[in-house]
Amino acid sequence: MTLLTALARALAAEAGRAQPIRTVRHVHLSGRPLVFIPLQLAGEACAPLAAMAGDDRDKPRMLTVYEPRDRTQRFDFAADLAEVVLGYIDSYTTADPGPEAPYPDAPQVLVPNNGGISFTRLLSRSTRFRRTEGEYAVRQSVPLLGRWLNFYSERSEAPASALLLSMTAVLADHWASGQSATEDANLAALLGWIDPPEGMTGAAAARAAEDPVRCPPAGPATDPTFDNEVLAARIGAIRAAKARGDGAALQRAQLALETVLKTQLEPTWELMWRAVDLLGALPAGGHVEDRWQADRRAFTGHVNWLRQGNPPAPRKDSAVAAASKLARMERDQQRLAVQRAYDDPLVMAEYRLTSDAFAGIVVDAQPDRLDTSGKRAKLRPWITVETSDEVIAGPGTEFASPGRPGQQAHVIGVAPDGERTRVILELQSGMGRSLTPPPGSVPAVGEAVTYTTLTDDFQRGPTFPQIADTPWTHGGPPPQYPGGADEDATEEWS
């Protein structure tokens, strides 16, 4: 929460409609994302009940588990889901990108909320170690699906990745509603604020969306009154038909269950694609493509990892892997923050409020100024920027400008000028090798510029030992094939 976002929430509350808090979209949005809406049975660790999935808004694929407590059917569900998900993933690996190059595009998965991501992680955990032969054999595709879901849920923890996104999180990152963050976790309510139906305020639309009877929750949990009044009777009918051995009645009961589950999934399906449209209407931020390229590389790497026949990721990270992951995440987070500020003046505004940046107009420029104090003369232009932002930096402080990211600017002096402040900056780099700067490399008088102390030259991360050299204080090297697939296969299911 930042001051600008808080203010935007206050404005939204007053206006009865969500307010934008970004001028550009900060996540990559695929032209053909896979929307995945899972539902699970209440009370169970990870008992899929139904799901809607697909990359074509007009052709959702619906999967139903007729007896969610039956482990065989759970894995049948996983196999059906694998058909959808693996089919989608495979469609991105048809081209041969050549050695070292990533695939030209990567598959993107969108779930409604953070619960959807947790479900993805749990489903991966329950499927990726399963064996495809022996006593508790599952279909070939099941462990493979698990490994992909693990890749996606792991990537969702990386701050800059857009491979698996929670829709409510992405929307809340771009719009401020007039309600609390807790309430924003409801996709329908949040969209109500952002894009209310004709003739309705966002506030009213959000309230209406909170009625679980008219507007089903976006999962994975279903509404308790749905469970108790509708679902229980449908599952009961299936059990009864099965117990009687009445095939026709069983089919009717299964159809009836599908019908009621569809009512719980379809509205969310519509909402997801509406959200995709809303986000798609925003122009992408400058660094979004760069970050997506990193995602494409990660995706390509995982395809190769699987093709090389490597074992599945362990249930828990080893000590070395966990530490280096954490350090990497911290660095990524920092770099992401810088990129977002550079890409979006509204994000940069947060830094202007805290005097980590200022924006203004160039009122004076000496583009040909030379520093002759050393052995050789160096090109060191000076410019004077007039700003209404507060500048607390002293002489010597280094600034950079999103407009000229490679160029450093050192403060020479700061002088108040009435309501405004004048900052004299000495520029360095990004102007070629000669003593005359190329046109445009030095800001001209009258140009609007922004300078910030945020820079993208992040520090190198600490080095960690190789996994095989894990110190004994951290448990020593983990076993070659962590995860204990055997133990897992015999786990009793409820």
Partner 1 sequence: MDPTEARLAKLRGSVMPRRHDARTISALAANPGCGRRALMDAAGVDKQKLAAYTGYPAPFGQSQFAIARGNAFEAQVKENGAAQLLSLLREHLSLDVAEAYYTDLGDVGGNEASEVRHVRTRQLLATVDENLGTMFDHPLLRLRVGGRHAYLEPDLIAFQLHGKFSIIEIKSFAVIDDQADPVKVAAAATQSAVYVLALRDLLGSDDKVRDETILVCPENFSNKPVATSIDVRKQLTVIKRQLSRIARIEDLLSSCPEDLTVDLEPDENGIPRRSPGEVEGAIRQIAANYAPECLSTCELCYLCREEAQGSTGALGKQVREELGGIEQVTTVLGLARGAAPSPDREEVAAVLAKAAGLREDLL
Partner 2 sequence: MTETVEALERRIDRLRVAVREAVLAGDKARAQTLRADLRRAEQDWEAALAAAEAAEGAADAGKPGAADNGGMGGERDGAGHAAATPAQTGPLLPLREQVYEALSLLQVPAAPKLIATVHEAFFATTFPTTRVTSLRRDEERSFRTAPFARPYYICAALAADFLSPSRGLLAVSTWPMERRVIGSLSPRVDFLEAAIRVAEAIERIPAPVPAARRLLWRFAVSIPGAAADPHHIRPAAVRQAAEAEQNVHKDADSRTRREAAKRARQQLTDAEQLFGSKTFEPAGRTAGKAAGGAREATGEEA
Residue in the structure block whose two tokens are 């081209």: 95
Say how far apart CA 342 and CA 151 lie, in whole Å. 29
Q: Which does 97 bind (CB under 5 to 8 A by kind): partner 1, partner 2, none?
A: none
**Which residues does 290 contact at the CB level (< 8 Å), separation at least 6?**
339
* Least CB distance to partner 1 at residue 205 (A): 15
Q: Does 213 bind partner 2 (CB under 8 A)?
A: yes
Say how far apart CA 201 and CA 195 lie, in whole Å. 9
Closer by beta carbon to partner 2, 76 or else 426: 76
Read off the tokens for 388: 């209404």
Cβ contact 456:339 at 8 Å:
yes
Cβ contact 424:412 at 8 Å:
yes
Q: Tell me which of 94, 182, 466, 473 binds partner 1, using CB under 8 A.
A: 182
Q: Does 249 bind partner 2 (CB under 8 A)?
A: yes
* Least CB distance to partner 2 at residue 152 (A): 26
Q: Tell me which of 83, 258, 371, 398 binds partner 2, using CB under 8 A.
A: 258
Q: Tell me which of 10, 45, 233, 377 binds partner 2, using CB under 8 A.
A: 233
Stretch that binds partner 2, among 116-124, 244-252, 388-396, 452-460 (CB under 8 A): 244-252
Say how far apart CA 485 and CA 483 lie, in whole Å. 6
Closer by beta carbon to partner 2, 214 or else 378: 214
Cβ contact 336:161 at 8 Å:
no
User: How many CA atoms does the CB half-sphere of 69 hold within 13 Å?
Assistant: 9
SS3 for 408-437, per residue?
Answer: EEEEEEEEEECCEEEEEEEEECCCCCCCCC
- Sketch the per residue contact string, 224 through 263, with partner 1: x for CB under 8 A, - otherwise: xx-xx--xx-------------------------------
Read off the tokens for 200: 């309705």
* Least CB distance to partner 2 at residue 225 (A): 4
Q: Does 1 bind partner 1 (CB under 8 A)?
A: yes
Q: Does 3 bind partner 1 (CB under 8 A)?
A: yes
- The number of residues that bind partner 1 (CB under 8 A) is 52
Say how far apart CA 177 and CA 346 lie, in whole Å. 17
* Least CB distance to partner 1 at residue 307 (A): 27
Dihedral over alpha carbons 277, 282, 286, 292 (to 10 degrees): -10
User: How many CA atoms does the CB half-sphere of 344 hold within 13 Å?
Assistant: 25
Strand-pair partners of 399: 409
- The number of residues that bind partner 2 (CB under 8 A) is 34
Q: Does 25 bind partner 1 (CB under 8 A)?
A: no
* Least CB distance to partner 2 at residue 229 (A): 5
- Sketch the per residue contact string, 45 through 74, with partner 1: x for CB under 8 A, - otherwise: xx----------------------------
Closer by beta carbon to partner 1, 37 or else 348: 348
Q: Please write down the long-range contacts of 370-374, taking CB distance under 8 Å and 24 or more positions apart.
A: 370/435
- Contact residues toward partner 2 (CB under 8 A) are 64, 66-67, 70, 72-73, 76, 212-214, 223, 225-226, 228-230, 233, 237, 242-243, 245, 247-256, 258, 260, 490
